[in-house]
Amino acid sequence: MFADRAKIFIRSGKGGDGHVSFRRELYVPAGGPDGGDGGKGGDVIFVVDEGLNTLNDFRNVRKYCAEDGKEGGKKRQHGANGADVICKVPPGTVIKDFETGKVIMDMSNKKEPVVILKGGKGGNGNQHYATSTMQAPKYAQPGQPAQELYVTLELKVIADVGLVGFPNVGKSTFLSRVTNARPKIANYHFTTLNPNLGVVDLSDGNGFVIADIPGIIEGASEGVGLGFQFLRHIERTKVLLHIIDGASVEGRDPINDVYAILEELKKYNTQVVERPMVIAANKMDAMNETEKETVIDMLKEEFEPQGIEVYPISAVTGEGVKELLWHVNELVKNAPEEMVEFEQEYIPVFDFSSEPYTVEVDPENEHIFIVEGPKIEKMLGYTNLDSEKGFDFFQRFLKENGIIDELKTKGIEEGDVVRMYYLEFDYYE
């Protein structure tokens, strides 16, 4: 089965925690802190693999998690870094945030690996927190948490030319005649449920890649039928080749069909209808000469003033096909070289800034609680506790960072003392 859309869960690795330890050697009775840093968590990396053409692998495996970093060790040993997880995707894949539908990254033109989620930074060991006033810090920094996200992968077929038209107008027959593609062909609607790619080889190195976009129906832009699955493939193409049933075998009006398809394309993406377009009036073999002339004159009179040329063809007999292909080849050669690339609309942001702190009961007095750590030192350094606003910020800081909860867990009661370096506070609910 051709898979052009998949939802997966991705998670980077958590950073390893910093370690708390102290140097213990013979003849060194009061060694300093020597806790090592934690290792970095693994990244989630996406890579374009030219050998892939579907997202089938992501239907079988839906979770991609990088390895966590390892904790630091004693004697300043650095924890091992976590292994990255690498997701290989086919060319034309767009990565979107599942919740918002916004583009995180278009992998179409990416030659190098792209890091989508970064692994958490490893925490600092207690060796980093020794100061003149705190020579034996008993805290270390925890590693940054993992980043996780549900994303949607969408494969938008990369082709020079997109075949569009209502179901059963002969697109698959045309594709099988002009390329080596062998799509299934039968006389019922929605025969083609997957985009078929083929290469058109003309003489002297001329040619182009063509994609049979599955049959579009009215309402496709609103998702009727398999609308969005079909229309997303048109966005990459440089030229649109609109095949219509010129003989009205099923009683359809070919002019109305053209306008109906254009309207669906316009509703989906206004830029698509600005691409060069050519109309192929198919099934000419089903009409006599007089009927052919009448239909072709009518179509040319309607569309050629709009800059859209009309070519009468028969995908069954090959009538007019060669002339059509050379015209399409010229349109492709004159089209802009750059591939349509979708701009980034969403950047995953995770704020995991964390500094360690400890909450301990004074071993000599159970009614004194000692709160220390770099986070506390920094907060006290930039907070004016003499002002009402500054003291409100101080209390909010203690609550939001879980320090109040930690004090309660340790058994603090009203009237007990909280000591933070050079400051002491009486605790009240």
Tens digit of each residue's pLDDT (9 = 90 or more) over 136-147: 788 888 888 899
- What pLDDT is recorded for position 79? 94
Mean model confidence pLDDT for the chain: 82
CA dist., res. 255 & res. 259, Å (int): 7
Query: How would residue 261 be classed by pLDDT, with cut points 50, 70 and 90?
Result: confident
H helical segments located in 70-216: 171-178
- What pLDDT is recorded for position 162? 86
DSSP 233-302: TGGG-SEEEEEEETT-TTS--HHHHHHHHHHHHHHH-TTGGGS-EEEEEE-GGGS-HHHHHHHHHHHHHH
Average pLDDT over residues 294-310: 92
- What pLDDT is recorded for position 254? 86
CA dist., res. 188 & res. 38, Å (int): 62
Q: Does 219 or 108 have the greater pLDDT score?
A: 108
Query: How would residue 348 be classed by pLDDT, with cut points 50, 70 and 90?
Result: confident
- What pLDDT is recorded for position 189? 38
What 3-state class would DSSP assign to 17? coil
Query: How would residue 184 be classed by pLDDT, with cut points 50, 70 and 90?
Result: very low
The CA-atom distances, in angstroms, between 192 and each of 1, 214, 246 are 12, 5, 20
pLDDT at 300 over 80: yes
